Amino acid sequence: MNESRMWLAACTIALCLAVIAVAGCNRKPAASGSPFPASNEAAGWTKTGETRTFEAADLWKYIDGEAERYLKAGAQRVETADYRFQNKIDAVVDIYTMGAADSAAKILDSEPAGDAKSVPLGDAARLYGQSLVFRKGPALVRIVAYQESAETPQAMLDLGRKIADRLSR
Amino acid sequence: MNRGDSSRRDFLKKCATGAAVLGAAGKAWPEPVMRAEGMPLLAAAEQTAAPGKSKVVIARDAMLRGTTTTVDSSRVLSLLDRAMQSFFNVDHPAEPWKKLVRPGDTVGLKINTLGGRGLSTNVQLVEAICERLQEIGIKAQDIIIWDRDTDEMDRVGFRTSTADNRVQCFGTDRIGYEDELSTFGKVGSRLSKILTQRTNVMINLPILKDHEGAGVTIAMKNMYGVIHNPNKCHPNGCDPYVADVNMLPAVRSKMRITICDATTACYEGGPGFKPQYSWQENALMVSQDPVALDYTSWQIIEKKRAEKKLKTLEAAGRPPRYIATAADAKHQLGTNDPRRIDLIEVSA
């Protein structure tokens, strides 16, 4: 009697663990991989730091003051990493995972375009002298360069295209 | 209403055009409000401001960066000296600091690194302040450069230091927050132990920034970096939370002066760094009245927004209401009345 109860309990625990594992896999599709290009995947760009992730509940720790706007639009997390271009330009890449493509559009559309150039990248993109912002599906990508030079916009665009490729996988 | 609008327009014009000592004599606002250990902290500034007025100094240097993109250390030191000497109306660079601190004080330099690289308190400015403090006898180890998080500080160039006989540099994450809540109005927060236990004087070193929720974030809003739960203080455009945080006894009693780093500023998309909405103001702003400084800085941001053909913050639905709240009878943290602000602009 005791043995059969123990056997039943063990089976129940195993079943629960299996359900949890499957649910976990569903949250993070195996095919997605990292959206951050490795060093030199985009010509001249080196990834100089580890990727940091802030889930929705901790978004304020990264963008306190702006977090509310992203959360209202459906942000689930942001991943961020530092890059360097040919030892000349330092940059940070932020990739926001929003709930849906509409959510990403909501953020991008809420920001004044100013003197942005529209470039063919993702679903919509804006290129500035030191910044590239684009969205692709539910992802909103923001690249900010800390040095302005003639080659900064093209370099950001090259990096952005590699990120867009990875987001498609 | 019209009179107030007119007054504000005049103030904005003067912010834009040059040295100004604003006209109509205002009635003195209440008693000096920030005191620490018996020292009337506004006393020094009151001696040099017009009677009944709060003094705000804006010092600019168009060549602050020379031909590079980063600010030049020696020019930052000169700009700091000009700003401080003008504020205290003294001739020697060391004199202003003697009016603020004494040997034996432990001085916290509350920087702002939330915006990340590009829009954080400049290392060069902080180094210049440390230099002047040490010249008047403050020991290196009695100076603490701090913000909420050591990693954030490191990312913008502040190297961690806890070694003896050196200027200390670390975030609250290293020593934590008090266990007990400090409360005022709608705020109930645990305060950084750097503020409560490690320093007896605070010098506030914020940035001139637009803020998505609050409208602007400058002197008073920088105090969100001393509490454990800033994320709970953003409803209703941060009003009255910003004013309430500045009323917390440890904040109010230890604050001596604000030196706003307006070398790079931001008129939209803040508080994070978005280069497309930033500009190089190449200025430092000094005041012992955080409300007057915030009001003045807000007008500078509005002027830049107008230049860029953006709506006013009011029209954009995010006026910094907390500034008026900070000046109300319950808070009395300073004045937001331009007629009571003695605005001095100096240039290199």
Please report the number of interchain residue pairs, chain A to chain B, with beta-carbon separation below 8 angstroms. 65
**pLDDT digit string (tens) for A60-86?**
889 888 899 999 999 999 999 999 999
Assigned domain for B263 exists: yes
Per-residue pLDDT, A63: 87
Provide the chain B residues 167-196 that lie in CB contact (below 8 A) with chain A. none
Is A114's CB within 8 Å of B212's CB?
no
Please list, in sequence order, all residues whose beta carbon lies within 8 angstroms of the beta carbon of residue B11, skipping any fewer than 6 positions away: B22, B296, B299, B338, B341, B343
Assigned domain for B234 exists: yes
Confirm or reject contact between B139 and chain A (CB < 8 A). no
Tokens representing residue B242 in the block: 């910003």
Question: For the residues A11-25, what does the mean pLDDT come to?
Answer: 46
Closest CA to B338 of B302, B306, B291: B291
**pLDDT digit string (tens) for B311-336?**
999 999 999 999 999 999 999 999 99
Each residue's pLDDT expressed in tens, for chain B with a length of 348 residues: 344 455 555 555 554 444 333 323 333 333 333 333 334 444 444 456 677 899 999 999 999 998 888 899 999 999 999 999 999 999 999 999 999 999 999 999 999 999 999 999 999 999 999 999 999 999 999 999 999 999 999 999 999 999 999 999 999 999 999 999 999 999 999 999 999 999 999 999 999 999 999 999 999 999 999 999 999 999 999 999 999 999 999 999 999 999 999 999 999 999 999 999 999 999 999 999 999 999 999 999 999 999 999 999 999 999 999 999 999 999 999 999 999 999 999 997
Could you tell me which residues of chain A have a Cβ less than 8 Å from any Cβ in chain B? 60-61, 63-69, 90, 92, 111-112, 114-116, 128-131, 144-148
Per-residue pLDDT, A61: 87
Closest CA to B15 of B219, B314, B248, B296: B296
- Give me the residue label for tokens 């007008």: B299
Assigned domain for B3 exists: no
3-state secondary structure string, chain B? CHHHHHHHHHHHHHHHHCCCCCCCCCCCCCCCCCEECCEECCHHHHHHCCCCCEEEEEEECCCCCCCCCCCCHHHHHHHHHHHHHHHHCCCCCCHHHHCCCCCCCCEEEECCCCCCCCCCCCHHHHHHHHHHHHHCCCCHHHEEEECCCHHHHHHCCCCCECCCCCCEECCHHHCCECCCCEEECCEEECEEHHHHHHCCEEEECCEEEEECCCEEECCHHHHHHHECCHHHHCHHHHCCHHHHHHHCHHHHHHEEEEEEEEEEEECCCCCCCCHHHEEEEEEEEEECCHHHHHHHHHHHHHHHHHHCCCCCCCCCCCCCCHHHHHHCCCCCCCCCCHHHEEEEEEEC
Specify the CATH number for the domain of residue B40. Answer: 3.40.50.11440
Q: What is the CA B138 to chain-centroid distance, rounded?
A: 21
**pLDDT digit string (tens) for A104-124?**
999 999 999 999 999 999 999
Assigned domain for B277 exists: yes
Is A131's CB within 8 Å of B276's CB?
yes
Q: What is chain A's length?
A: 169
pTM, to two decimals: 0.85
CB B202 within 8 A of CB B254: yes
Closest CA to B117 of A82, A140, A23, A135: A82
Tally of domains within chain B:
1
Query: Hey, of B241, B276, B310, B312, which one would you mutate to test binding to chain A, going by the most A CBs within 10 A of its CB?
Result: B276
Is A68's CB within 8 Å of B212's CB?
yes
Q: Which amino acid is at B256?
A: R
Query: Hey, of A48, A55, A58, A64, which one would you mutate to test binding to chain B, going by the most B CBs within 10 A of its CB?
Result: A64
Assigned domain for B2 exists: no
pLDDT band at A9 (very low <50, low <70, confident <90, very high): low
How many angstroms separate the CA atoms of B179 and B333, rounded?
26
Assigned domain for B341 exists: yes
Assigned domain for B275 exists: yes
How many angstroms separate the CA atoms of B314 and B330, rounded?
24
Q: Nearest CA to CA, how far is A73 from chain B (Å)?
A: 14
Per-residue pLDDT, A15: 52
Among A29-38, A158-167, B150-159, B291-300, whose mean pLDDT is lowest? Answer: A29-38
Assigned domain for B106 exists: yes
Tokens representing residue A108 in the block: 């991008």
**pLDDT digit string (tens) for B36-73?**
333 444 444 445 667 789 999 999 999 999 888 889 99
Q: Which amino acid is at B235?
A: P
With beta carbons under 8 A apart, name residues in chain A contacting B316: none
Domain span including residue B69: 8-23+32-347
Identify the residue with better confidence: A30 or B80. B80
CB A143 within 8 A of CB A161: no
